[in-house]
């Protein structure tokens, strides 16, 4: 393993629970019945524990959208052509995509990263350039990436996360773009979670039944050809993963190291998260699951991570859309914690807890 990556993984600490009682006491002292704001109180508590702050600053939010192409797309696994990846990157940078609209709605910045798009985007302003290669190889013909490329992509994602955190962002959401990327995400989920491909494979961009069965057969074949080792997450990632998935893995690992919460989006982001957990079991304590994707493999990922979704809106767009919507609810919980008056401040009687 790359020495930088090894050091990153080993430097992730356990979430410090020493401040839990202080945070809970304040939540219980607010002008409301104890626990009456349910999950919002849980969000505030978890945010404080992750950041190790009993009085955290206001949220400064960003969604990191990693873009990459996939060799498997040449097998017709998506309802859209591969060129849509770079076209959507341009749309993100112009502010016209779903993620842009929802990020503006919750006040989050959108950072778009070319980590493996099969197109020359070097002259596009506003794009973060971290290209490892011009897309992955077709995993039906061998590994999607070399092991070195997979590690480079993880470290590239970590570097991007470190940059935005140093710029003042204190909560991150995962996003992605890559035509065909539900196929490697399904293969990767099957490998790491040790499930049958049919259990974790959905319809992606909305393919019909015949195309869905074809997609499952391709995933089964790719796993048989590459034989990813479920005990070696880098092996799994390199053989049947993708550059944007690896970037999300690195983003998560670096945020955990720097004690910054990450809100994980849907199925493709979940693939990056399960690789991160396989590399470091402490990772899920730093994560929020933004929403439950329609992609059925996402539930398997959440079980593996031990997380519950904040939202369930029948979404499957990706890009980070579900995660940024969840950012607004986490922020609401934190504002309750910070801004709501206590019983003492409001001169209100707390009442009888026995009632």
Calculate mean pLDDT across residues 117-138.
96
Cβ count within 10 A of residue 239: 27
CA distance 233 to 5: 13
pLDDT of amino acid 76: 85
Task: Write down the pTM of the prediction.
Answer: 0.96
Report which DSSP code applies to 174: E
Tokens 């973060």 locate to 128
8 A C-beta contact, residue 308 and residue 89: no
Boundaries of every domain in the chain: 3-56+338-346, 61-328
pLDDT of amino acid 355: 38
pLDDT of amino acid 208: 83
Calculate mean pLDDT across residues 80-95.
95
For the chain, percent of residues with pLDDT exceeding 70: 99
CA distance 344 to 252: 40
CA distance 289 to 295: 14
Residue 340 has pLDDT above 80, yes or no: yes
Residue 303 has pLDDT above 50, yes or no: yes
pLDDT of amino acid 354: 46
8 A C-beta contact, residue 345 and residue 30: no
Identify which of 129, 108, 97, 89 has the alpha carbon closest to the alpha carbon of residue 263.
108
Between these two residues, 25 and 355, which has the higher pLDDT value? 25
CA distance 191 to 266: 18
What's the mean pLDDT when you consider all of the chain?
A: 95
Tokens 């026995």 locate to 354
**260 — pLDDT class (breaks 50, 70, 90):** very high
Residues acting as catalytic residues: 319
pLDDT digits (tens, 9 = 90+) for 43-83: 999 999 999 999 999 999 999 999 999 999 999 888 889 99
List, in sequence order, every residue forming a beta bridge with 63; answer none if it has no partner.
Answer: 110, 173
The answer to whether domain 61-328 has CATH 2.60.40.1180 is: no
pLDDT digits (tens, 9 = 90+) for 166-212: 999 999 999 999 999 999 999 999 999 999 999 999 887 677 888 88
List, in sequence order, every residue forming a beta bridge with 172; answer none if it has no partner.
Answer: 62, 262
Calculate mean pLDDT across residues 227-234.
98
CA distance 282 to 189: 19
Between these two residues, 154 and 211, which has the higher pLDDT value? 154
CA distance 136 to 117: 9
Fold observed for domain 3-56+338-346: 1.10.1610
Residue 7: which region, alpha, beta or left (left: phi > 0; alpha: psi -120 to 50)? Answer: alpha
Cβ count within 10 A of residue 328: 17
CA distance 303 to 93: 34
CA distance 291 to 347: 39
For the chain, percent of residues with pLDDT exceeding 90: 91
Angle at 142 between CA 185 and CA 80, to 5 degrees: 45
Residue 352 has pLDDT above 70, yes or no: no
pLDDT of amino acid 37: 97
Least confident span in 113-122, 234-243, 346-355: 346-355
pLDDT of amino acid 353: 59
Instruction: Report residue 53 as tokens.
Output: 């702050």
């Amino acid at each position: 393993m790359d020495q930088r990556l090894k050091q990153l993984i080993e430097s992730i600490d356990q979430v410090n629970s020493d401040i839990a009682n202080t945070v809970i006491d304040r939540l219980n002292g607010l002008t409301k019945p104890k626990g009456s704001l349910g999950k919002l109180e849980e969000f505030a508590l978890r945010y404080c524990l992750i950041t190790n702050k009993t009085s955290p600053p206001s949220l400064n939010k960003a969604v990191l959208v990693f873009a990459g192409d996939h060799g498997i797309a040449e097998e017709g696994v998506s309802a859209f052509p591969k060129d849509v990846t770079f076209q959507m990157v341009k749309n993100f940078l112009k502010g016209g995509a779903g993620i842009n609209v929802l990020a503006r709605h919750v006040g989050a910045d959108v950072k778009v990263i070319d980590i493996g798009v099969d197109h020359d985007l070097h002259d596009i302003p506003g794009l973060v350039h971290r290209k490892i290669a011009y897309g992955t190889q077709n995993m039906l013909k061998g590994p999607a990436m070399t092991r070195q490329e997979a590690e480079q992509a993880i470290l590239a994602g970590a570097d991007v996360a470190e940059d935005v955190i140093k710029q003042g962002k204190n909560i991150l959401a995962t996003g992605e773009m890559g035509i065909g990327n539900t196929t490697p995400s399904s293969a990767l989920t099957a490998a790491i979670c040790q499930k049958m491909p049919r259990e974790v494979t959905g319809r992606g961009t909305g393919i019909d039944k015949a195309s869905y069965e074809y997609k499952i057969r391709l995933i089964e074949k790719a796993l048989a050809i590459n034989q990813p080792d479920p005990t070696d997450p880098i092996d799994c990632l390199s053989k049947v993963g993708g550059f944007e998935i690896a970037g999300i893995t690195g983003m998560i690992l670096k945020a955990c190291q720097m004690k910054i919460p990450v809100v994980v989006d849907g199925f493709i982001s979940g693939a990056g998260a399960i690789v991160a957990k396989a590399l470091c079991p402490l990772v899920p304590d730093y994560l929020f699951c933004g929403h439950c994707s329609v992609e059925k493999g996402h539930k398997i990922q959440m079980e593996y991570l031990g997380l519950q979704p904040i939202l369930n809106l029948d979404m499957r767009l990706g890009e980070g859309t579900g995660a940024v919507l969840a950012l607004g609810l986490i922020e609401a919980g934190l504002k309750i914690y910070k801004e709501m008056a206590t019983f003492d401040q409001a001169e209100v009687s707390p009442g009888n807890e026995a009632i």
